[in-house]
Amino acid sequence: MNMQRFSRAIRYGSFALIIAGLVCSCALANADDKKKDTSHPAAKPAPAAKPSAPASRPAPSAPAHVSRPTPQAPAPVSRPSILPAMPAARPSTPPAAPVSRPSQPAVNPGASAGGTHTVSPAPVNSKPAIGSGNGGKPPVITTPTNGTSNGVRTPVATSPAVGLGTNYSGRTPANTTAPANGAGPNKGGRTPAITTPPNGTGQNNGGRNPVNSANGMGANNGARPQAGPNNAPHNPVIATPPSRGSRENVARNGSAVRVRPNGRVSDVHDVRRGMDVHQGLNGGRRIVVERPDHSRTFFEKGRPGYVARPYSFHGHDFDRRTYVYHGHTYDHFYHGYRFHGLGLHVYAPSFYFGHAYYGWAYNPWASPIRYHWGWMGNPWHRYYGYYFSPYPVYPSAAFWLTDYVISANLQAAYAAHQEAGEMNGDPNAAGVAPLTPDVKQEIADEVRDQLALEGQEAQQNAQQQVVDPGASGIARIMTDVASGHPRVFVVGSALDVVDGSGSECALSDGDALQLQSVPPPNATSADLVVLASKGGQECAKSDLVSVPLDSLQEMQNHLREVVDQGLQELQANQGKGGLPAAPAGPQAPAVYAAAAPPPDQNVASEIQQQADQADQAVTDVTADAAPQAAPPTISAGQSIADVVAILGQPGRKAILGRKAIYYYKDMKITFKDGVVTDVE
């Protein structure tokens, strides 16, 4: 019994010793680890109970910029400018002599539209294009001082709602106005002017606008059109280029008359009256009178006439033209400058809109709108319906203004047709070239250029600066063309020109021309390609025509004048009938307008007086410049009857048989057997 107890105690004791040994081993191991940690200290971890941030601090997933506005509507000052490089104020060019080509003030095409239209967003994606939604702030203008554009043209107002085509140049796509047939990419950085055929085939691979590829056949590989007639020799008395087969007769006093191949008078220059008369191919007549004091009178039946008075402001030459049309009188201002040796006048607005308003007009609207014009169905619109169709939607004011400009010109052409019998186009004739979507896009580009230009001028005017006319006129356009960017002109009045074959053809209000190359330094005219015309006696599409530089300047003047009228119309009706609301702001008078002489009070009578004298001027100059008849000649072999028929009966006779001598005042004629044998 006791032995059993003893054995059990031994076993329990062994177990206890084993357990005690294990405990001691663990303790020794822990002691070694502590020594190692002391020799290589490490950063202490943060206590688990300590919070990583105060309870009131925002969570890291909520950064501070969440309160900024949404990025699709940035302010224009925070992004690169989308305006073209515009010339800064430069030293003024020398004063100019007055020009003889008038601009044609437009009939207001929107007068009957206010409040009569319905408007709704286009049924497309309404997200605004980049650069829109800027609250009407004006775009930023960055301008090199040399007046060049560095090869960059104004990008066109775009809307992804109607985006068509592919842009390969890094510019805003130009042809995004949802034309019905618009197709084909633009690889040259500019919208091709007439390269989109009706079936949407063909493309422009030359970076230039082809002349005759509207039918989709052929491509433009960069070749320029054939040489034009702008250097054709002609009599300097009548400055416009003559047509092939015409003749000019100059009187001894310097007056001249030009006669067409059909024998009809085309031009008369009357030195005594200071008058130039042009008989148009379309049946119209234009009369311009230059006075010794450089004032000027213009008359054209069925169109506005004016009297221009020159004046000076801070050393700059200006003209104030007082127009009269159907008893309504209004004024425009023009700034003189010299170009290619000519005295030209560029349009100078009498006032400027607020800078924010120009930005609203330049940039795309939040979404395209539909607009119903009040003139739809009017007689002029029915007459020219074959030539012009308005846009179905308007993504910006530039496109609205484009249709405004075209419709104003066509109304003027129709009024002249009704009042003066002018034949401006023929819808039933061959050769009609209507305004295609591509050509209208080019015109919209020009409208945007003018908006950008006038926006900059408004800033200069606000600083009491006089705008450099060379930076606002065709001199600047020539710089753009020289850098490889053709420009488009909209004809603003009836004009006769000469094509590349030397034949005379007509242009009228609303025709479109493109300047693809600059004229030589001494040329007084430029060669342009016809993009759109109305048929009949008008120049055919793709014709290369010679346009006097003063007429080209007047085309640009007229575009700006009508754009300004359209801007007034938009401002008066903004926010009404669906038109987007525009920024408010007063109009600022131009600094040069206050110095102008008072408007003429007798403009209508002065113009009519000159018109009444034109018929007599044509009669007098035609008679004075008529070729003189060759002096009569008497030669051997003529009979006595022949001599008497030419010289009449002699002063005395001597009959000597078969021989007879007739004595005239300065001549003695001897006959033998009745035939002349000697003349002394």
33 occurs within a structural domain: no
Q: Are residues 575 and 644 in the same domain?
A: no
Taking alpha carbons only, the member of 272, 267, 321, 276 closest to residue 292 is 272
The three-state (H, E, C) secondary structure of 310-353, written as one string: EEEECCEEEEEEEEEECCEEEEEEEEEEEECCEEEEEEECCEEC
The per-residue pLDDT for 641 is 87
**Number of C-alpha atoms within 13 angstroms, CB side, residue 191?**
33
The pLDDT of residue 9: 52
pLDDT at 98: 35
pLDDT given at position 642 = 86
Place of tokens 């401002």: 571
Residue 2 lies in a domain: no
Shared domain check, 356 and 296: yes
Locate 143 and state its tokens: 């301008």
Answer yes or no: is 167 within a domain. Answer: no
Q: Is 678 helix (H, G, I), strand (E, B) or coil?
A: strand
Residue 618: inside a domain, yes or no? yes
Q: Are 659 and 611 part of one and the same domain? A: no
Same domain, 530 and 398: yes
Question: Taking a C-beta distance cutoff of 8 angstroms, is the pair 266, 258 a contact?
Answer: yes
Query: Under 8 Å CB-to-CB from 543, ≥6 apart: which residues?
Result: 499, 500, 505, 529, 530
pLDDT of residue 150: 36
Statement to judge: residues 502 and 546 lie in one domain: yes
Is the same domain home to 532 and 651?
no
Residue 275 lies in a domain: yes
Predicted pLDDT at 414: 94
List pLDDT tens digits, range 590-605. 999 988 988 888 999 9
Asked whether residue 538 falls in the same domain as residue 650, the answer is no
Cβ contact 489:556 at 8 Å: yes
pLDDT on residue 422: 84
Instruction: Report the distance separating Cα 436 and Cα 163, nearest Å.
Output: 18
* Same domain, residue pair 520 and 661: no
pLDDT on residue 629: 58
Q: At what angle do helices 397-420 and 355-362 cross, to 10 degrees?
A: 90
Cβ atoms 535, 429 nearer than 8 A: yes
Based on the domain organization, do 567 and 652 belong to the same domain? no
Residue 106 lies in a domain: yes
Same domain, 647 and 619: no
Same domain, 543 and 570: yes
pLDDT value of residue 99: 35
Q: Write out the residue range of the structural domain in which residue 655 sits.
A: 640-679
| 182 assigned to some structural domain | no
Cα-Cα-Cα-Cα dihedral sign, residues 596, 601, 602, 603: positive
- Secondary structure of residue 585 in the 3-state scheme: coil
529 phi/psi in degrees, rounded to 5: -100, 135
* Contact predicate 446/174, CB 8 Å: no
Number of independent structural domains in the chain: 2
Mark whether 553 and 656 lie in a shared domain: no
- Relative orientation angle of helices 437-462 and 355-362, to the nearest 10 degrees: 170
Query: Cα–chain-centroid distance for residue 37?
Result: 85
Residue type, 528: L
Task: Name the helix (H) or strand (E) containing 258.
Answer: strand 256-259
Tell me which amino acid residue 168 is: Y
Exposed/middle/buried for residue 610 (C-beta within 10 Å: 0-12, 13-18, 19+): buried
Does the residue 202 lie in any domain? Answer: no
* The two structure tokens encoding residue 258: 């030009």
Measured CA to CA, the distance from residue 399 to residue 353 in angstroms comes to 19
Rounded Cα distance, 426 and 540, in Å:
12
Question: Which residues lie below 8 Å from residue 87, measured CB to CB, with a gap of 6+?
Answer: 143, 144, 145, 146, 147, 148, 468, 471, 476
Q: Contact 535/425 with Cβ under 8 angstroms?
A: yes
CA Rg value for the chain: 41
Q: What is the pLDDT of residues 260-271, one digit of tens each?
A: 998 899 999 999
- Measured CA to CA in angstroms, residue 660 lies from 592, 637, 654, 663, 669 at distances of 84, 14, 6, 10, 8
Using DSSP bridges, classify how beta strands 544-548 and 305-313 pair: parallel, antiparallel or unpaired: unpaired
pLDDT of amino acid 160:
31
- Pick out the chain residues at pLDDT < 70: 1-236, 628-632
